[in-house]
């Protein structure tokens, strides 16, 4: 088990990431949490102080504040934080994510990038590129990316509505910057989760070429529905609140297919700590429903498109190209 390690997590102030942090703090690991704004930081601290004393938090919890990941300029702020403090990382958890299924129009980042792609994929892609040299090259080191099985059109969630598909990146740049061709919010989310896996597989390949010991892990938490207005569904609920509540009640109580946010956070913390995941190259884990209200984390296959090594390389190059077009040029992997 990993103890007393330096762990960076995005998307840790609410949802799955919050409960992962609770578990990781209990093991006295050093947590570095990227938080979007002063308001979010204060809300986070108010809740987490119900779990730990302030002195304990002062020792193990570190906040990198005012870092809206949708704005690529903030990625440098994260790098400067670790550079200034001369801190090396053992684990990076890329957990931040959003979706706004139901919207007819795209939301965009400061750089004019469709928001789902900007946060779920591009920010994390750029973050790893600028922080790679801050990750200790040791067997227990790992980069973990929260993805989703909806990246696979054959999965139970992926085959509902508009399906994921990058079409070999034909006109894809126009779909995520500028023209937003044939925008569909549900498809954008599913595609971002597909990008997560393609990015992870290409990253693992590049690390292997350089004989790195760092593992790359993608995982799918399953259908996780929070009990409050925080976390993953906070944007989608704005577009179809009644539909969301009906869906949530059916998924939780009648079908029994959803996972609790507490359990999902516990699973994420276990992926961080599990020594059996040392130096494994790449793996995809899925929190599969095995029977009513019961899930199990298992190694799982990804979609055919996610297994396309040529597509993974093309996505990497396109991601670099988009970053560079806005003046963000640090690529060293």
Q: What 3-state class would DSSP assign to 252? A: helix
pLDDT for the residue numbered 329:
83
pLDDT for the residue numbered 250:
44
Instruction: Quote the crossing angle between the two packed helices 123-131 and 309-325, to the nearest 10°.
Output: 90
pTM of the model: 0.90
Q: What is the mean pLDDT of residues 10-17?
A: 94
Domains of the chain: residue spans and CATH: 6-325 (3.40.50.720)
Q: Which residue has the tokens 């801050």?
A: 134
Whether 199 contacts 304, CB under 8 Å: no
Alpha carbon distance 135, 128 (integer Å): 9
Q: How far is CA 158 from CA 117, 147, 303, in A?
A: 17, 12, 10
pLDDT digits (tens, 9 = 90+) for 79-128: 999 999 999 999 999 999 998 888 889 999 999 999 999 999 999 999 99
What is the H or E stretch that residue 215 is in? strand 215-220
Q: How far is CA 234 from CA 17, 21, 98, 230, in A?
A: 15, 20, 8, 6
């Amino acid at each position: 088990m990993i103890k007393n390690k330096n762990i960076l997590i995005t998307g840790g102030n609410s949802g799955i990431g919050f409960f992962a942090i609770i578990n990781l703090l209990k093991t006295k690991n050093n947590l570095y949490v990227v938080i979007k704004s002063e308001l979010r930081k204060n809300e986070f601290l108010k809740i987490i102080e119900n779990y730990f004393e302030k002195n304990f938090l002062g020792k193990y919890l570190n906040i990198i504040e005012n870092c809206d990941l949708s704005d690529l300029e903030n990625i440098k702020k994260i790098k400067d934080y670790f550079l200034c403090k001369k801190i090396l990382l053992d684990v990076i958890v890329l957990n931040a994510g959003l979706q706004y299924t139901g919207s007819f129009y795209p939301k965009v980042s400061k750089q004019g990038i469709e928001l789902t792609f900007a946060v779920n994929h591009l920010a994390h892609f750029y973050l790893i590129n600028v922080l790679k040299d801050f990750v200790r090259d040791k067997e227990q080191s790992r980069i973990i990316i929260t993805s989703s099985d909806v990246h696979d059109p054959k999965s139970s969630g992926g085959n509902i509505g508009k399906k994921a598909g990058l079409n070999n990146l034909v006109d894809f740049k126009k779909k995520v910057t500028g023209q937003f061709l044939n925008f569909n919010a549900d498809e954008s989310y599913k595609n971002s989760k597909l990008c997560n896996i393609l990015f992870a597989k290409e990253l693992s390949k590049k690390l292997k070429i350089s004989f790195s010991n760092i593992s790359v892990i993608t995982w799918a938490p399953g259908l996780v529905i929070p009990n409050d207005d925080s976390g993953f569904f906070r944007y989608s609920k704005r577009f179809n609140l009644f539909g969301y509540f009906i869906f949530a009640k059916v998924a939780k109580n009648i079908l029994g297919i959803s996972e609790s946010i507490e359990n999902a956070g516990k699973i994420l913390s276990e992926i961080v700590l599990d020594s059996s995941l040392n130096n494994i190259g790449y793996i995809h884990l899925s929190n599969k429903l095995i029977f009513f209200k019961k899930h199990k984390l298992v190694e799982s296959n990804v979609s055919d498109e996610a297994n396309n090594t040529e597509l993974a390389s093309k996505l990497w190059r396109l991601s670099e190209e988009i970053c560079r077009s806005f003046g963000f040029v640090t690529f060293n992997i």
